A and B are shown apart, each in its own frame.
Chain A
Amino acid sequence: MAAADQHSGHEGHHTTTGISHNKLLMWSFLASDCMFFGSLIMMYMVYRPEMTDLGGLGPNDLLDIPFSSLMTFVLLMSSLAFVLGLSSLQRGNEAGMRIWLTTTALLGLLFLGGESFEYMKFYGEGLSIGENIFGTAYFVTTGFHKIHVGIGVIWLLGIVAMSYRGRVPKERSEMVEIAGLYWHFVDIVWIVIFTFIFLVPYR
């Protein structure tokens, strides 16, 4: 489709760039969100050298990399499910879209569940949010990410509910695409967090 022929999602106005207002809003919001996460992760990285000797309550004692890898896999698979859902809708298969988007949301919930399980485990071992700098930085950084995942899950289920009422036809697939931009972004952020908080060794 020629870019100039595209119209914005909700009002059919012509736009200068050919990208709809809604989509451009999402892209610029994500740019801004990068800086939100960037500030948090930057703080974490600055505090990282202080985390090696925390008397049994540091990352080397607590982080469970195999388990987190599994959760990371779950979250990445949710992105795959999303792509399949979007592609179903673009081919006019609304029921397929609903199934795949529900799968995406369930995988997101599984991720949240797994991460919450880890929270409980850490807390059980004595790491509270105010215990030391690792507790503070770990819970707040990953917690901020979890809020994002949670909002994404609600958004996806909202789309599924609207689709049941026939309000997400093929022609409005862009609204699903925009939700996807958000969902994939949140996944990518997790890859960064997983790398810098979990994988890179603490020395």
Chain B
Amino acid sequence: MAQAVAAREEQLDRWAVIWDWITTSDHKKIGLLYFWTSLAFFFVGGFLALGVRSQLVVPNSAMMSPEVYNQFFTMHALVMIFLALMPMSAAFFNFIIPLQIGARDVAFPRLNSFSYWVYLFGGLLLCSGFLFGAAPDIGWTGYTSLSSSQYTPGMSGDFYVMGLQVLGFSTVAAGLNFFVTIVNMRAPGMSLMRMPAFVWMSLVTFVLILLAFPALAIALFALMMDRNFDTVFFSAADGSVVMWQHLFWIFGHPEVYILILPAFGIISEVLPTFSRKPLFGYSFVVFSGITIAFLGFGVWVHHMFTVGMGPIPNMVFATTTMLIAIPTGVKILNWLATLWGGSIRLTTAMLFAVAFVGMFTIGGISGVMHAAVPIDYWQHDTYFIVAHLHYVLFGGTMFGLIAGIYYWFPKMFGRYMNEAMGKWHFWLTLIGFNLTFFPMHFLGVDGMPRRIYTYPSDFGWELWNLVATIGAYLLGFATLLLVINLIKSIRAGQAAPNDPWDARTLEWTTTSPPQKHNFDRTPQVRARDDFWDQKYNRTGEDAEAEGPEEHIHLPPGSYIPLLVAFGLMLLGAGIIFTLWLSVIGGIILTVGLFAWAFEPND
């Protein structure tokens, strides 16, 4: 009897915990939700990549049908970009930014929870195409006319359009929220030029999100109208097929900076900490980040050199594209100079950060190569492009994010990760990564087109394809090590103190993991790298760094963001299945928004 009661109470307790996670508006919990969800999607994307590599391991392979292969490479790109890399950055935005600027939460906690749920539902909507055998199969760029209803009738194109459209709401909402948070919620004394580099690069990312995502949203909206409501935006006869490419890349090029800038930020935290030196040329890092963002809007045509716009546009955009290498090169110099003469500790986070600099430089150089129009004509749509983009997105973004995981893990979970296993993970990743993607340069210059389903045996592509596939499996195995390390360290890692790395920024002043309200007293910032300054430069009464005790107010949780997110997803799903779903979704959305507006929030 007593046992039954105890079991029931435990069950109730479990429900309370689940309810707490569902309704949470705590930026740290939302950050963890983002973290685990994006890691799960990272594995989905990785699985799809292994499928692609397995199909290509030998010539004339018929392991999977061409239709399934098209779905695999399309979904691999969409899942990795929109469901793994960006949300993994969002996990760090959520968890780290409020701590680094000395705030208790983000500006709009419920909007933050809304962003997460839209991301989850939108991600599931996008992936649910597989359940219907109709996952998007048109490439992640979704070029018209291929994506028009004439050539891709049926649901697969709609999953692409509506999945991305719903996800866009999540991204823009998060962009608005964090922009306001960084501009408006900094601790007293933290002027813009005292902000940690990660916060700066994130701020630039949010500006890019706010200005670039609308172009994608409008492009998708127009494509949806074309596919489902008979408009002629992208029809070859009445409209313009190339218009889609313009809109897509006006979004798409800033998007690659949206993906890489947070990693730049993470690296700019990790390298100084483990070199025990301030970031070299902080203001150069900041302003080169801003320059990259600005120029990022003026280079989109370099994705379209072969469209045939003529020599003048091609030359102009080739020039702007080469220009953008300058601020990027400035950053690489800054990172190298940060290492110079520092007392370097080669932790796993540091190894990944250093490898980031090397791998990203390779990716950057191959990028400048096809900024030259004639060379791009040769390399366009070949595996050389695939090699380039994986060097910047995996060797760049993902290495940066993994460095972030090893660096902030003690803060997020209160324990160290296993360094020995971490080093195995690092070396296997580095070797597997280069085995996979370096040979693709050779395949590309040998003329192997990207997205090709299979290839004949007499082109001399067998060896490098075999090497790439072996590398991919090694990479997959290495990533398993990361997850094992994460789980083991959360269960039984060595307990970490507040400041395990002797670091420089405010997040390390609070407990590990941070208490619910982050800081007992609002930090008073007096210097860039304030925590370091506190530890080593201030003495006596100068060390009295914290503000007076204050009343701490935290907003309650709410289930309404979840409801609104669900309504939004149904609204999008209705376009794919039947418009009745849209009606139901619209009603839930409207009711939810009113409930949101009138919910007491104090």
Interface residues of A (CB under 8 A from B): 8, 10-11, 13, 15-17, 19, 21, 24-25, 28-29, 31-33, 35-36, 38-40, 43, 46-47, 50, 128-130, 132-133, 135-137, 139-140, 158
**A130-B229, A136-B233 given; A29·B185 CB < 8 A:** no
Whether A16 contacts B238 by the Cβ 8 Å rule is no
Nearest-neighbor residue (CB-CB) of B238 within chain A: A133
**A25-B107, A47-B239, A133-B238 given; A140·B214 CB < 8 A:** no
Interface-central residue, B186, B215, B225, B238, by most chain A CB under 10 Å? B238
Whether B184 contacts A36 by the Cβ 8 Å rule is no
Q: Closest CB of chain B to A192's CB: distance in Å? A: 15
Chain A binding surface, main DSSP class: helix
Q: Closest CB of chain A to B447's CB: distance in Å? A: 34
List chain B residues, Cβ under 8 A from A135.
231-232
* Cβ contacts B36-56/A at 8 Å (1 or 0 each): 000000000000000000000
Whether B240 contacts A46 by the Cβ 8 Å rule is yes
Q: How many A-B residue pairs have CB under 8 A?
A: 105
**A24-B180, A25-B107, A40-B218 given; A35·B230 CB < 8 A:** no
Nearest-neighbor residue (CB-CB) of A19 within chain B: B184
List chain B residues, Cβ under 8 A from A24.
107, 179-180, 183-184
Whether A29 contacts B215 by the Cβ 8 Å rule is no
Nearest-neighbor residue (CB-CB) of B172 within chain A: A32
B243 close to A (CB within 8 Å): yes
List chain A residues, Cβ under 8 A from B107.
21, 24-25
* Cβ contacts B163-205/A at 8 Å (1 or 0 each): 0000000001001110110011110001000000000000000
Q: Closest CB of chain B to A39's CB: distance in Å? A: 4
List chain B residues, Cβ under 8 A from A137.
233
A21's contact among B108, B218, B250, by CB below 8 Å, is which? Answer: B108
Q: Which of B219-262 contact A (CB under 8 A)?
A: 219, 221-222, 225, 229-233, 238-240, 243, 247, 250
Q: Closest CB of chain B to A144's CB: distance in Å? A: 8
List chain A residues, Cβ under 8 A from B243.
43, 46
A38's contact among B108, B214, B555, by CB below 8 Å, is which? Answer: B214
Nearest-neighbor residue (CB-CB) of B226 within chain A: A136
Chain B interface category by residue count: 35 or more
Q: Which of B538-566 contact A (CB under 8 A)?
A: 553, 555
Q: Closest CB of chain A to B137's CB: distance in Å? A: 26
Given contacts A10-B602, A39-B219, 19 further A-B contacts (CB under 8 A): A15-B184, A24-B179, A24-B180, A25-B177, A29-B176, A31-B210, A35-B214, A36-B214, A39-B214, A39-B215, A39-B218, A43-B218, A43-B222, A128-B230, A136-B225, A137-B233, A139-B231, A140-B225, A158-B597
List chain A residues, Cβ under 8 A from B108.
21, 25
Q: Closest CB of chain A to B189's CB: distance in Å? A: 10
List chain B residues, Cβ under 8 A from A136.
225, 231-233, 238-239
Q: Closest CB of chain A to B555's CB: distance in Å? A: 8
Whether B238 contacts A39 by the Cβ 8 Å rule is no
Q: How far is the CA of A39 from the CA of B218 in the complex (A)?
A: 7
Whether A43 contacts B233 by the Cβ 8 Å rule is yes
Nearest-neighbor residue (CB-CB) of A15 within chain B: B184
- Smallest CB-CB A-B distances: 10 pairs: A130-B230, A35-B214, A39-B218, A136-B231, A36-B214, A32-B210, A15-B184, A21-B107, A16-B186, A133-B238
Q: How far is the CA of A19 from the CA of B211 in the complex (A)?
A: 21
Q: How far is the CA of A98 from the CA of B432 in the complex (A)?
A: 67
List chain B residues, Cβ under 8 A from A128.
230
Q: How far is the CA of A200 from the CA of B418 in the complex (A)?
A: 67
B61 close to A (CB within 8 Å): no
9 contacts between A and B (CB under 8 A): A11-B602, A16-B184, A19-B184, A21-B180, A29-B176, A32-B213, A36-B217, A136-B231, A139-B231
Q: Closest CB of chain A to B581's CB: distance in Å? A: 20
A130's contact among B179, B231, B553, by CB below 8 Å, is which? Answer: B231
Whether B218 contacts A36 by the Cβ 8 Å rule is yes
List chain B residues, Cβ under 8 A from A29.
176
List chain A residues, Cβ under 8 A from B222.
43, 140
B11 close to A (CB within 8 Å): no
Q: How far is the CA of A16 from the CA of B185 in the complex (A)?
A: 6
Nearest-neighbor residue (CB-CB) of A40 within chain B: B218
A25's contact among B180, B240, B602, by CB below 8 Å, is which? Answer: B180
Q: How far is the CA of A136 from the CA of B231 in the complex (A)?
A: 5
List chain A residues, Cβ under 8 A from B185.
13, 15-16, 21
**A11-B602, A21-B184, A24-B184 given; A33·B229 CB < 8 A:** no
B601 close to A (CB within 8 Å): yes
Q: How far is the CA of A13 from the CA of B553 in the complex (A)?
A: 10
List chain B residues, Cβ under 8 A from A43.
218, 222, 233, 243, 247
* Cβ contacts B458-495/A at 8 Å (1 or 0 each): 00000000000000000000000000000000000000
Q: How far is the CA of A11 from the CA of B106 in the complex (A)?
A: 13
Q: How far is the CA of A16 from the CA of B108 in the complex (A)?
A: 15
List chain A residues, Cβ under 8 A from B214.
32-33, 35-36, 38-39
A10's contact among B210, B232, B601, by CB below 8 Å, is which? Answer: B601
Q: How far is the CA of A15 from the CA of B602 in the complex (A)?
A: 17
Q: How far is the CA of A135 from the CA of B233 in the complex (A)?
A: 10
Q: How far is the CA of A66 from the CA of B247 in the complex (A)?
A: 33
List chain A residues, Cβ under 8 A from B225.
129, 136, 140
Whether A31 contacts B211 by the Cβ 8 Å rule is yes
Whether A133 contacts B176 by the Cβ 8 Å rule is no
Whether A16 contacts B602 by the Cβ 8 Å rule is no
Whether B219 contacts A28 by the Cβ 8 Å rule is no
**A35-B215, A39-B218, A136-B239 given; A130·B232 CB < 8 A:** yes
